[in-house]
Structure 1
Amino acid sequence: MKVEEEAIGAVVNRLRRAQGQLAGVIAMIEAGRDCKDVVTQLAAVSRALDRAGFKIVASGMRQCLARSEADAPPMTEAELEKLFLALA
């Protein structure tokens, strides 16, 4: 599966955001911040990583659908991503 060029930018942005959030979580732990705050931020990191993964999968699914159902119009990447996220 090859990720489309336009999806790569969105994935990289999400991963960079997650990287920044993770650095924030580490700093919070080192500073002895409240457990609730740390867990909340850690959950945000997890969601950012999940969404990056879903974007990659959605892009691959779109490519597969476009090739296998030539008679029907393929779903957009946004439609596939929304559908996939409904399962999460």
Structure 2
Amino acid sequence: MAYGPNTANRVKRMEGQMRGILRMMEEGQSCKDVITQLSAVRSAVDRTIGVIVSENLLDCVSTAKGNAEKMNAAIQEAMDLVVKSR
């Protein structure tokens, strides 16, 4: 599967957030502020997982070309990925 620039940008943004959290910790920022930022990163990861799974599902279903067995397998695989990410 090819990942588009938007997906890569999401991951880069999360990487920047994580560096910012480390800096906050080094500077002794409050626990509440650090946790708030960590929660934001967790939400961003969850959203990115959703984007990747949905793009993959669309790709798999479109290549199944009416083959119900292939479509069902693709849907099941996508659901397994979502459950695994939790």
TM-score category (smaller protein): 0.5 to 0.7
Identical-pair percentage: 35
Kindly report the root-mean-square deviation, in angstroms, between the aligned alpha carbons of the 2 structures. 1.9
Structure 1 unmatched runs, 5+: 71-83
User: Match of 1:64?
Assistant: 60
Q: Deviations over 1:12-57 (max 9, x none)?
A: 1101110111011001111111111000001111112222222211
The CA distance in 1 between the partners of 2:24 and 2:37, in whole Å, is 9
Structure 2 unmatched runs, 5+: 67-81
Normalising by structure 1, we get a TM-score of 0.66
CA contact (8 A) 1:14 1:51 kept: no
Quote the offset at 1:67 in angstroms: 2.8
User: Match of 1:27?
Assistant: 23
CA contact (8 A) 1:21 1:45 kept: yes
User: Match of 2:10?
Assistant: 14
Quote the offset at 1:69 in angstroms: 5.2
User: Match of 1:51?
Assistant: 47
- Give the structure with the larger helix fraction: 2
The CA distance in 2 between the partners of 1:8 and 1:49, in whole Å, is 16
CA contact (8 A) 1:11 1:52 kept: yes
Normalising by structure 2, we get a TM-score of 0.68
